[in-house]
Amino acid sequence: MARIVLKFGGTSVADLDRIRNVAARVAAEARAGHQIAVVVSAMSGVTNQLVGWCQALSPLHDAREYDAVVATGEQVTAGLLAIALQELGVEARSWQGWQLPIRTDTAHGKARIQSIEGGEIVRRMQAGQVAVVTGFQGIAEDHRITTLGRGGSDTSAVALAAALKAERCDIYTDVDGVYTTDPRIVPKARKLARIAYEEMLELASVGAKVLQTRSVELAMNERVRVRVLSSFTEAPASDDAGTLVVDEDEIVEKEIVAGIAYSRDEAKITVRRVPDRPGIAAAIFGALAAENVNVDMIVQNISDDSTTDMTFTVGRADLARTQAVLGSAQPQIGYRDLAIDADVAKISVVGVGMRSHAGVASTMFRTLADKAINIQVISTSEIKVSVLIAAEYTELAVRALHTAYGLDAA
């Protein structure tokens, strides 16, 4: 007997049959004795169509009107799911963001949740009613509907779980949990039973997109236990289904490395022969920040003469903009030329166990050296070591590291 928030994304509610399936799953959880609130996304494709209409009418459309239009997607799903639940004999009602209310700031189109009034649905859940809540949206103090930005339904679900003091927030997706690495590259990848918030954040930011980053940050801040599991597991879900994203204190047997992530969305830029004097890094990265280019890894090579080479990575989508910014800043910076390499991959090993274990980085470097893989850039954080390598070695590196850290399934 627990209070649980269940979240279903767009593909899980893509048509009436899938909505019926979701209803059956929710009904099974409710009949298992749990107090249930459900957060739903729009039927898949619907949001894109609504966004497309707004853009077609005006490329620079009013974000407040955009929100009013786009928020209808979840409104439809919530009502339909409530009807499907009632048809199964489960007492249920839909709640739109403004009805609870879910209060957000006024940043229309990318609003942040400020508070959720959960008292009424807690009372109803205690009386056996399932609350079906529209994800992705709320109401701002201007009394208008806001949306949280794409993928915001994960965040809605976590925020609702926090407001309801739910025992867990179950996020249903098309994968059955978080893996030690991409199973398409490493067939021996293992599903993790538990993963720490910080690990999940690092894995997400390096390309293992299972949960929206903001939802994980929120879960970490609010100490909401999040479970990622597949819409195709049996219902009600068994206790060991999926992967639980929790505080690291809840992970008794910590692995030193939880997972290996990779990203091919990076590009490497080397600014060559920069005068080696104070303020040069500020000049380069200040210019990029002013154009909203996110810089990731940075290394500076000291050279013999009075110049230095500055190497860093940006998202590949930002490469052209980066070149333009640096090109026009050349007179101020005074570098000789730029070397560009978009054919790179970032490989990261992530694990909270690293904090208390030495030798994680050296294992990585030795493993890659054994495979004759050259490391171009290194960056480290408390729970992550990342290296930049030539893209063609991606799979080889991931497989070798997965084995080296003892992650292969038996």
Number of H helices, E strands in the chain: 12, 20
Applying CB under 8 A, among 6, 37, 69, 228 the residue interacting with a second copy is 69
Q: Least distance to a second copy from the beta carbon of 16, Å?
A: 6
The site string for a second copy over 13-32 (x = CB under 8 A, - otherwise) reads ---x--xx------------
Of the ranges 27-35, 52-60, 209-217, 361-369, which one interacts with a second copy (CB under 8 A)? 52-60
The site string for a second copy over 198-217 (x = CB under 8 A, - otherwise) reads --------------------
Applying CB under 8 A, among 1, 127, 143, 305 the residue interacting with a second copy is 143
Comparison of 78 and 280: residue with beta carbon closer to a second copy:
78
Comparison of 49 and 381: residue with beta carbon closer to a second copy:
49
Find where tokens 């893989």 sit.
Answer: 373
Q: Least distance to a second copy from the beta carbon of 289, Å?
A: 32
Residue 341 bridge partners (DSSP): 268
Site for a second copy in 224-253 (CB under 8 A): none
Cα distances (Å, whole numbers) of residue 194 to 177, 200, 245 = 9, 10, 6
177 phi and psi angles, rounded to 5 deg: 155, -170
Comparison of 83 and 295: residue with beta carbon closer to a second copy:
83
378 within 8 A of 387, measured Cβ to Cβ: yes
Report the side by side order of strands in the sheet with 137-139: 113-116, 102-104, 137-139, 145-147
Applying CB under 8 A, among 36, 39, 40, 78 the residue interacting with a second copy is 78
Applying CB under 8 A, among 3, 31, 64, 316 the residue interacting with a second copy is 64
* Residue 334 to residue 123: CA distance in whole angstroms: 66
Q: Is residue 65 part of the contact set for a second copy (CB under 8 A)? A: yes
Burial of 260 from C-beta contacts in 10 A (0-12 / 13-18 / 19+): buried
Dihedral over alpha carbons 70, 75, 77, 83 (to 10 degrees)? -160
Say which amino acid occupies 74: E
- Please, what is the end-to-end C-alpha distance for the chain in angstroms? 35
Comparison of 85 and 229: residue with beta carbon closer to a second copy:
85
Q: Least distance to a second copy from the beta carbon of 19, Å?
A: 7
Provide the binding-site residues for a second copy, judged by CB under 8 A. 16, 19-20, 50, 53-54, 56-58, 61-62, 64-66, 68-69, 71-72, 75-76, 78-80, 82-84, 86-87, 93-94, 96, 98-99, 143-144
